[in-house]
Amino acid sequence: MATSHALRESAPPAKPQSGAIHPLWVRVTHWLNALAAIVMMLSGWRIYNASPIFPGFRFAPEITLGGWLGGALQWHFAAMWLLVFNGLLYLALNLASGRFMRKFLPISPRAVLHDLIAALTGKLSHVDLRVYNAVQKFAYLFVVCDLIVLVLSGLAIWKSVQFPLLRELMGGYDNARIVHFFAMSLMAAFIVVHLAMVALVPRSLVAMLRGR
Ligand code: HEM
């Protein structure tokens, strides 16, 4: 015990690692996912307007995509393939390379709370962009899970006859629409917070664009 303690104390300070902060495949899949998610959200708002779930609530047409229901559906379905295949590629490469475990785990509610308080009081370090703090880990894991719920609830709405089990897991067709709507709202909230965080640490945007 004493030896390992001494070893830890005498270890040289960690050198900054060389190489890319985000490998090319992370950057490419991130930007394609972001594009697909935004196109799906804006076209989804237009589709919602054609048959609102909440009476009296509609999205302003100026901030929607597609022009009319048919156009919005085409945008929604086109971006859907990009989101699903690119999202699966992102997940598969993360898992196969071990990056998922390294970057996003371990995580605990205690660590998230600790880093959240540190962030709100301006005490959270952003010196090493390679290491995600617990709040970043939570936000990214959260949005990945949210996107999976969005895709599954969307599938339950689109192919509700072909996927009866999925439809029932969502609480039926009407409930699947509500699940889809709330998952979209959570993603919109993520985007707002994500963009605010990126604006606070602009170096992180350069790293996500150039890799370093
Ligand atoms: C719209 C949907 C978006 C989603 C779902 C999303 C999701 C994510 C995820 C999951 C990560 C972690 C990637 C990883 O390390 O594996 C990430 C990182 C990042 N994203 Fe996004 N993103 C979106 C949009 C954007 C936009 C529009 C911008 C910039 C204008 C942006 C800038 C960044 C940056 C700079 C990072 C790295 C930040 C860091 O070091 O913590 N993202 N994003």
Q: Note whether 92 and 113 are same-domain residues.
A: no
d(CA 5, CA 108): 25
How many domains is the chain built from? 2
Nearest CA to ligand 1 atom 12: 140
Is 12 part of a structural domain of the chain?
Answer: no
d(CA 194, CA 49): 26
How far does CA 128 lie from the centroid of its chain?
A: 21
The C-alpha R_g of the chain, in whole angstroms, comes to: 21
60: its two tokens = 């302003």
d(CA 185, CA 42): 12
Cis status, amide bond into 106, omega within 30 of 0: yes
For residue 76, what are the domain limits? Answer: 22-52+61-97
CA of 2 to the centre of ligand 1 (A): 43
**pLDDT in 10s for each residue of the chain, 212 residues:** 333 333 333 444 444 455 789 999 999 999 999 999 999 999 999 999 999 999 999 999 999 999 999 999 999 999 999 999 999 999 999 999 999 999 999 999 999 999 999 999 988 888 889 999 999 999 999 999 999 999 999 999 999 999 999 999 999 999 999 999 999 999 999 999 999 999 999 999 999 999 98
Spell 169-204 as b/e; 16+ CB within 10 A means b: ebeeeeebbebbbebbebbeebeeebeeeeeeeeeb
Is 123 part of a structural domain of the chain?
Answer: yes
CA of 194 to the centre of ligand 1 (A): 7
187 CA closest ligand 1 atom index: 5
Is 113 part of a structural domain of the chain?
Answer: yes
CA of 101 to the centre of ligand 1 (A): 18
Pick from 146, 208, 209, 212 the residue to mutate for probing ligand 1's pocket: most ligand atoms within 8 Å of its CB: 208
Q: Note whether 118 and 209 are same-domain residues.
A: yes
Q: Note whether 202 and 113 are same-domain residues.
A: yes
